[in-house]
Amino acid sequence: MSSSLQPRLDPGVLKTAGRGQTHTAVLEAGPGDIMWISWWLWPLVALCTGDQFRDEAERIMQGTPVIDGHNDLPWQLLTMFNNQLQQEKANLTSLAQTHTNIPKLKAGFVGGQFWSAYTPCDTQNKDAVRRILEQIDVIHRMCQMYPETFVCVTNSTGIRQAFREGRVASLVGVEGGHSIDSSLGVLRALYHLGMRYLTLTHSCNTPWADNWLVDTGKDKAQSKGLSDFGQSVVKEMNRLGVIIDLAHASVATMKAALRLSKAPVVFSHSSAYSLCRHQRNVPDDVLQLVNQTGSLVMVNFYNKYVSCQEEATLSQVADHLDHIKKVAGAGAVGFGGDFDGVSRVPSGLEDVSKYPDLVAELLRRQWTEVEVRGALADNLLRVFEAVEQVSDHTRTPEEEPIPLDKLEDSCRTKYGYSEAPSFHHRPGALLASLTTILLGLSLL
């Protein structure tokens, strides 16, 4: 490096204090000394600047805490403790071996959380509804056991009130449309139990919507996006005021729902396909629809969706946020960490306490305070309020059931369908039945 590029240091005065005395030493700096000083001076300047961005991040987050779109702590409570929250090791103030506990949430300035009520795809056509009811129950019990930390809410007003109280607004997000067992009645019942978003698919097709594995060729398209019944599900979610979540959906399902929904939608935990070509991520043409519909992509922190490799960094997560902001606009960006639902997270984002470091990185990249507050909470609140405005409980509910031939019947009764047994036979059918019975008796 040319000496002309070195910072200029004039002779300085170093003061050291000891036992009430001040000693002054005059430093004469030559060219060699200047280069040596620069080696430690620039890292020190960078450190101070970093602290400045971190301090600014904390200042912003004190007024606008993060609302995260997806956290799988309830699933961990099932797999680790079978949802027995009173076990000593299940104490959320000291819970170890998870990305999430109460001290970490507080350190991360988490003010709102969509807790994932999740049941795996192998429960489809079996006990999915029972399992999802249990996971919604455990979310409610978290709020009951730790009322000083969590408050279960069901609307945007409740989130804002929780912010003022310094508690974590806790919302139910049901992950996977198989959880409603292709029933509009179950959809409505889950809404009344607090569900405020439904992920249309997980990593399996439902009888009415296609999942992301269709785009890999591993699953076959069944609905070409949304079937007629799938469209009824979307319409009923609009009527109820349930946010449509397109994480895990196929591209065809994404586009169909974005075009059909009267309200903005979310991707609760997805990243940008252009930066990591994984089919769980959102391609640019869909991001353009996100922009046109005022929708929201909440960036996932899972390494394989961030870098398409086993390892990833906080900076790469910020790259996804930058890209979505560039293509879909600053109003389309949010955080959907997927903590406790994935096995590997980026260095620098090891758990939920690290959100301020990500915000500091955005500030370092010259995001404005308004843009940062949008990504933290304001964008989600805008979408939620729009969903609430579109909802209309006075409108007639969707009622037509899914066709019976679209359902697997291995463990399923058929009451209500024409093939179902019924005590209300037509007279002709009843006469035929009695004739058969009498004929059988005469042969005895």
Euclidean distance between CA atoms 75 and 93, whole angstroms: 17
User: What beta strand segments (E) does 184-299 contain?
Assistant: 195-199, 243-245, 266-267, 296-299
Q: 275 with 323: CB under 8 angstroms?
A: yes
In the three-class reduction of DSSP (H, G, I as helix; E, B as strand; rest coil), residue 193 is classed as coil
- Among 230, 226, 206, 203, smallest CA distance to 216 is for 203
Angle at 197 between CA 389 and CA 268, to 5 degrees: 110
For residue 375, what is the DSSP state?
I
The residue from 68, 72, 351, 371 that is catalytic is 72
Q: Alpha helices, DSSP H only, in 213-333?
A: 228-240, 251-260, 284-293, 303-306, 314-328
For residue 410, what is the DSSP state?
T
The residue from 68, 236, 338, 340 that is catalytic is 338
Q: Which amino acid is at 171?
A: L
The residue from 68, 70, 99, 245 that is catalytic is 70
- What dihedral do alpha carbons 159, 160, 164, 165 form, nearest 10°? -20
320 is catalytic: no
For residue 415, what is the DSSP state?
T
Which residues, at least 6 apart from 165, have a Cβ–Cβ distance to it below 8 Å?
Answer: 151
- Among 212, 135, 205, 140, smallest CA distance to 174 is for 135
137 is catalytic: no
The residue from 68, 175, 245, 351 that is catalytic is 175
Q: 176 with 248: CB under 8 angstroms?
A: yes
The residue from 99, 248, 320, 323 that is catalytic is 248
The residue from 68, 99, 178, 269 that is catalytic is 269
- Among 238, 186, 180, smallest CA distance to 209 is for 180
- Among 228, 236, 287, smallest CA distance to 261 is for 236
Which pairing describes strands 168-175 and 150-152: parallel, antiparallel, or unpaired? parallel
70 is catalytic: yes
393 is catalytic: no
219 is catalytic: no
The residue from 99, 178, 202, 323 that is catalytic is 202
What end-to-end distance do the CA atoms of the chain give, in Å? 111
Q: 288 with 323: CB under 8 angstroms?
A: no
72 is catalytic: yes
424 is catalytic: no
Q: 118 with 175: CB under 8 angstroms?
A: yes
- Among 259, 253, 257, smallest CA distance to 279 is for 253
- What dihedral do alpha carbons 356, 360, 361, 364 form, nearest 10°? 170
Residues tagged active-site: 70, 72, 175, 202, 248, 269, 338
